[in-house]
Amino acid sequence: MSDQSAEQAIEKVVIIGSGPAGWTAAIYAARANLNPLCIVGVPRQDPAPVLPGGQLMLTTDVENYPGFPDGVTGPEMMQMFQKQAERFGTRVLGADVSRCEFGEHPFTLHLADGKSVRTESVIIATGATANWLGLDNELRLATTGGGVSACAVCDGALPVFRDKPLAVVGGGDTAMEEADYLTKFASTVHIIHRRDTLRASKTMQERVLSAGNVQMHWNKQVVDVLGEEFITGLLLEDTVTGERKTLDVSGLFIAIGHAPATNFLEDSGVVFDDSGYVALPDGGSSRTNIDGVFAAGDVADHVYRQAITAAGMGCRAAIDAERWLAEQGVH
């Protein structure tokens, strides 16, 4: 599609995002003859790389997605998703959406390069990015498969982590859930928290701290991640005394929260939940508060954040959009 036609045409459905949710929505929408346009974004550093394809682009081995008995790398999986979507006619536009006008129909999506796209319906599938410590070696090892991850449920059961000392950074419910999961596989789970109390619920604290292979490191922060090809340890600093020490670990899981990619939705009228994720008023569908605007994947899900749940939500959004368009007489 040329730049000129992108400005002049009125699309039936535009999918914003290119992770499991976005590509699955594209596959379903294309097979429904909706001729979808998928706006996939452009690479940027923030502080870890943010790439078209989503969080899986930073994941080396995916072993919990059905259909891949020998596992698959995240980038390979996203390449296959995209190829399948394109096979059925999905068009791909490498651009960032900077602003959305949902007040009038058809909707107008403003791109960062100054161009715009008009569309009858929109599926928001921009995902969420993990919050990182921002250390150079942390980010390097996270992107090269060096044993640093932002998802224990995704990666913690990999053979490379089994029966090894692992570390979790964080003090909220997410960190406790990650640590609890890792207790099944690690020899020791080291929880590193910069304060002397946890923010997590009492129930989660009790469950994790009662495990026989959990060790707390209070008032500590990670100031460096050690290792060349794979993590070998952490340099910890006491937040009270400033004393530093090395902790030997074979895996690091960052659990200090995620941020949904929703900046482009400011002033669009889309309603967010208390955590800042796109709200879905009807829990049984992907409909947002705006007719014709749907959401799928991690941008609307702060609970599961898995590739397979995102893909399922992408399917749901495409079907919801198809039915909504039919109700409007758009085929």
Give the residue numbers marked as catalytic. Answer: 151, 154-155
Structure tokens belonging to residue 328: 């409007």
Do the bridges between strand 91-93 and strand 214-217 make them parallel or antiparallel, or are there none, so unpaired? unpaired
Find out whether 175 and 181 touch, Cβ atoms under 8 Å.
no
Packed helices 202-209 and 173-182: angle between N→C axes, nearest 10 degrees: 30
Choose among 140, 126, 125: nearest CA to 58.
140
Q: Contact at 8 Å (CB) between 20 and 127?
A: no
Locus of tokens 């200090």: 256
How far apart are alpha carbons 202 and 68 in whole angstroms?
38
Q: Which residues is 122 bridged to in the sheet?
A: 14, 293
Angstrom distance (rounded) from CA 168 to CA 292 = 41
CB atoms within 10 A of CB 21: 35
Q: How far is CA 155 from the centre of its chain?
A: 14
HSE-CB for 104 with a 13 A CA cutoff? 2
Surface-to-core class of residue 116, CB atoms within 10 Å of its CB (0-12 exposed, 13-18 middle, 19+ buried): middle
Residue 159 has a CB neighbour count (10 Å cut-off) of 10
What distance in Å separates the CA atoms of residue 87 and residue 125, rounded to the nearest whole number?
20
How many Cβ atoms sit within 10 Å of the Cβ of residue 227? 18
Helix 74-87 to helix 20-31 angle, to the nearest 10 degrees?
A: 20
Q: Are strands 116-124 and 107-111 parallel, antiparallel or unpaired?
A: antiparallel
DSSP bridge pairs for 100: 109
